[in-house]
Structure 1
């Protein structure tokens, strides 16, 4: 940017969906910008490179989990992990992004230097500490803790079999002919159980409380038909909007008519399981979309249950014994392998120590600005995807918005953009996440603040957000632009040091 001495105009942290999406938008919208990506792992993909458990797949359709600018070409819209990695790898290669990625580079801290309009980013590379500077810092670090998953506090010392956590799946795990107990009832458990059932002796999903589930085909018949008769981009755009509208309708219908949605979901499961259906096992104590619904593609979980390869047990754990799990009602579930699919721990800003002129930034004291920036924090943006829709929908609109801000800065000669919120703002706060999921409730104390209305809000309505970010002026009276002559500031600092 104008008279900027930082190493890069934009530094992107994380080479998963969010980071790759931002890089692609920079290539398309800001071709003159210098940028780099830092990825802590040895390969790209983020979540899709980390998780290696059996059956790893998307729980959103790839026409919305895919990027707005890059059609999803596979026949299955509910895709497995390797297919998603192929998609991401193709994008970084075709768009010249791979050369901008530095792997095995873990960001430890980032400090905003207001005198130079630069982020000073400390990077750990193989035990060596390096400093990288950038005018704008974009975090595509995801939303959960890569190092420490949620610990449910189980005492597993008496169990003589093998214990694994989905976040750290061992490559040498042989479960053929073994009895497996998967503790949990969320998306990970619902994926693992039918995938392991083909080779295991039996797989039991042990749930404390049921989860609302819905089934859909892994292949989108309409999408595959449209691709045969329309140009690829047109077919993708139509399918994408079809699925966005269906997601939006299903979520809002669940909030306005929960009893009707409960009835429909229950009837669908009962119709699939027949005499194996037990109402208590499949009826959660909360309304649909109070927590995220679990997807069952091609009825795979229900088919595994009907084939006696899998079962679902509801109960509370009393103890883990040498050969299984004892429940508080006395039942014993035999196990050779226990999978603790008990959830994630959320993390803010990838656990990076963010500071501003040396003062630590406490995100729990900052308000979101337009779902991607924070009050009084310059040249900084993040992606926290939708809970009620695909993650990439937010990643796309955030990337596009930030690129517009960067272009405005270029046009006006600014190198600082900060959403200004006065101390006496008088904003009415709102619940940042109106969801009862355990991982959400456990993490609310670290979450940034949310106001009732935009712009100081992380919203959960993609259609509204998309229109708001596309139509609102960049100079909205809140986002303040300034110019710091970094060369002059550096010269003054050198002069002061000489004196």
Structure 2
């Protein structure tokens, strides 16, 4: 990138460094090609393959828990018949995109980012990486875009289950699924009742002797067909892109309506969901197992495509037990009720640990960035952190909906910088005490509650808010002024002065 006349920005290896070659990173690369083709970019990923989540998780039945007309990108129609897609199909979708759009040549795999340092004097990031052999290297960029996801790749949540060392069978966490696991004819206990457990249970039940889903607390389940009949019909009579656009709009509106209804009239949504589960299970319905003590969307609704979990229960291949664990023993799990669950394999689908910025140490002019001390700006940048953006998807809708609008917004910022011959963009916040904070993570899910202390702050109003309203966010991100008086623009020298002023204010 050429230096602007009014700045002292040093040359860089690429204009934009994208960390993460999953949905968020690939989406940003495609948006850069479309909206900011003058900007050079590179994607780096710690894994040996692209795909992020969809490459990491290899447990039986791995699938999306959102429809692919909203989990898919705005720019690339989902062409498969099934809207609730399995992991391999999603990987195929991502690989096709990076090949057709010539993004693959911009990807560097097996490169773990271990540090990112912003220097205001040169207006650039220096990023330190480590390959799979332990060798380190550095690269420089004008803008750092984190598409590293939201959870800890290294350490899933440890529920500290007593007696695990006494169990003579095999204990597995879904995040580290062993290759070619043989579970045919075996007794399996899956601990958990969230999306991962509900995926694993019916899939393993096909070959196992029996699968028991052991839950401490029931979950609200939403049953829907894996195939979207409306979408498949439109694809037959309309051009593919138009059919996809209409289906995406329909699904976004339905998600929005259901979420708002759950918040405004929770009992009606409870009654509807319960009626569907009762119809799916018939005389196998157990109110204790399927009546959560919280309202729908206080935690994320759990999707059951084609009622497969309930079909496995009716076929006596699976069952649900609501109880608390006393301890593991040699042959299974002893429950506090006095019951015992025999097991050959125990799957601990007990959840994830959240991670901010991929756990990467980020420093601005030598000062470590403590994310819980900073405020979200426009749901993707952070107070007083220059030339930096990250994606944290929606809790009440598909992750990619946020990734798409964030990518487009960042391109708008980059284009504004080009047009104004500036090299630094910083969401300036001199007085954090002037803002009224609000917890937008008002979900009771364990992985959310456990991580509130590390999350960036949010306020009651835009722009310092991580909103959960995609429909409004899309309008604001696309049409709102870039130079809004909060996002400040300048060159390298200006950045040094701004940094000094902000440190003085702190």
For Structure 1 versus Structure 2, the TM-score category normalised by the shorter chain is: over 0.9
Structure 2 CA distance, aligned partners of 1:92 and 1:26?
Answer: 13
Structure 2 CA distance, aligned partners of 1:172 and 1:282?
Answer: 33
SS of the residue 1:288 aligns to? coil
CA RMSD of aligned residues (A): 1.3
Structure 1 contact 2–413 (Cα < 8 Å) conserved? no
Aligned to 1:217, which of 209, 219, 225?
Answer: 225
Structure 2 CA distance, aligned partners of 1:36 and 1:189?
Answer: 36
Corresponding residue for residue 234 of structure 1: 242
TM-score normalized by structure 1?
Answer: 0.97
Aligned to 2:427, which of 419, 429, 440?
Answer: 419
**Cα 1:157/1:424, change in 2 over 3 Å:** closer
Corresponding residue for residue 128 of structure 2: 122
The 5 A counterparts of 1:280-429 are 280-423=288-431, 425-429=433-437
Q: How far off is 1:473 after superposition?
A: 0.6
Aligned to 2:72, which of 63, 66, 69?
Answer: 66
Corresponding residue for residue 495 of structure 1: none
What whole-Å deviation, never above 9, does each CA across 1:142-178 have from its counterpart, x for those lacking one?
0000000000001301110000000000013100000
Structure 1 contact 2–410 (Cα < 8 Å) conserved? no
SS of the residue 2:95 aligns to? helix
2:200 matches 1:192: yes
SS of the residue 2:326 aligns to? strand
Structure 2 contact 120–493 (Cα < 8 Å) conserved? no
Corresponding residue for residue 152 of structure 1: 159
Corresponding residue for residue 451 of structure 1: 459
Q: How far off is 1:485 after superposition?
A: 7.1
**Cα 1:424/1:215, change in 2 over 3 Å:** closer
What whole-Å deviation, never above 9, does each CA across 1:224-263 have from its counterpart, x for those lacking one?
0000000000000000000000000010000000001101
**Cα 1:399/1:424, change in 2 over 3 Å:** closer
Structure 2 CA distance, aligned partners of 1:264 and 1:127?
Answer: 54
Structure 1 CA distance, aligned partners of 2:397 and 2:180?
Answer: 34
Corresponding residue for residue 497 of structure 2: none
Aligned to 2:22, which of 11, 16, 19?
Answer: 16
Structure 1 contact 324–332 (Cα < 8 Å) conserved? yes
Structure 1 contact 369–455 (Cα < 8 Å) conserved? yes
Corresponding residue for residue 490 of structure 1: none
Aligned to 1:85, which of 91, 112, 120?
Answer: 91
TM-score normalized by structure 2?
Answer: 0.95
Structure 2 CA distance, aligned partners of 1:171 and 1:448?
Answer: 37
Structure 2 contact 116–125 (Cα < 8 Å) conserved? yes
SS of the residue 2:400 aligns to? helix
2:133 matches 1:102: no
Structure 2 CA distance, aligned partners of 1:281 and 1:485?
Answer: 62
The 5 A counterparts of 1:422-437 are 422-423=430-431, 425-437=433-445
Corresponding residue for residue 277 of structure 2: 269
Structure 2 CA distance, aligned partners of 1:215 and 1:410?
Answer: 48
Structure 2 CA distance, aligned partners of 1:96 and 1:482?
Answer: 33
What whole-Å deviation, never above 9, does each CA across 1:200-240 have from its counterpart, x for those lacking one?
00000000010000100000000000000000000000000
2:180 matches 1:175: no
Aligned to 1:112, which of 100, 107, 118?
Answer: 118
2:57 matches 1:34: no
What whole-Å deviation, never above 9, does each CA across 1:266-287 have from its counterpart, x for those lacking one?
1111111111111111000000
Corresponding residue for residue 500 of structure 2: none
SS of the residue 1:23 aligns to? helix
Structure 2 CA distance, aligned partners of 1:127 and 1:334?
Answer: 43
Structure 1 contact 418–481 (Cα < 8 Å) conserved? yes
Structure 2 CA distance, aligned partners of 1:104 and 1:268?
Answer: 45
Aligned to 2:255, which of 232, 243, 247?
Answer: 247
Structure 1 contact 344–439 (Cα < 8 Å) conserved? yes
Q: How far off is 1:423 after superposition?
A: 2.2
Which consecutive segments of 4 or more residues in structure 1 shift more than 2 A?
A: none
What whole-Å deviation, never above 9, does each CA across 1:344-383 have from its counterpart, x for those lacking one?
0000000000010111000000000000000000000000
Corresponding residue for residue 7 of structure 2: none
Structure 1 CA distance, aligned partners of 2:96 and 2:329?
Answer: 48
Structure 1 CA distance, aligned partners of 2:35 and 2:480?
Answer: 18
Structure 1 contact 11–134 (Cα < 8 Å) conserved? yes
Structure 1 contact 371–458 (Cα < 8 Å) conserved? yes
Structure 1 CA distance, aligned partners of 2:476 and 2:442?
Answer: 21
Which residues of structure 2 form unaligned runs of 5+? 4-9, 495-506
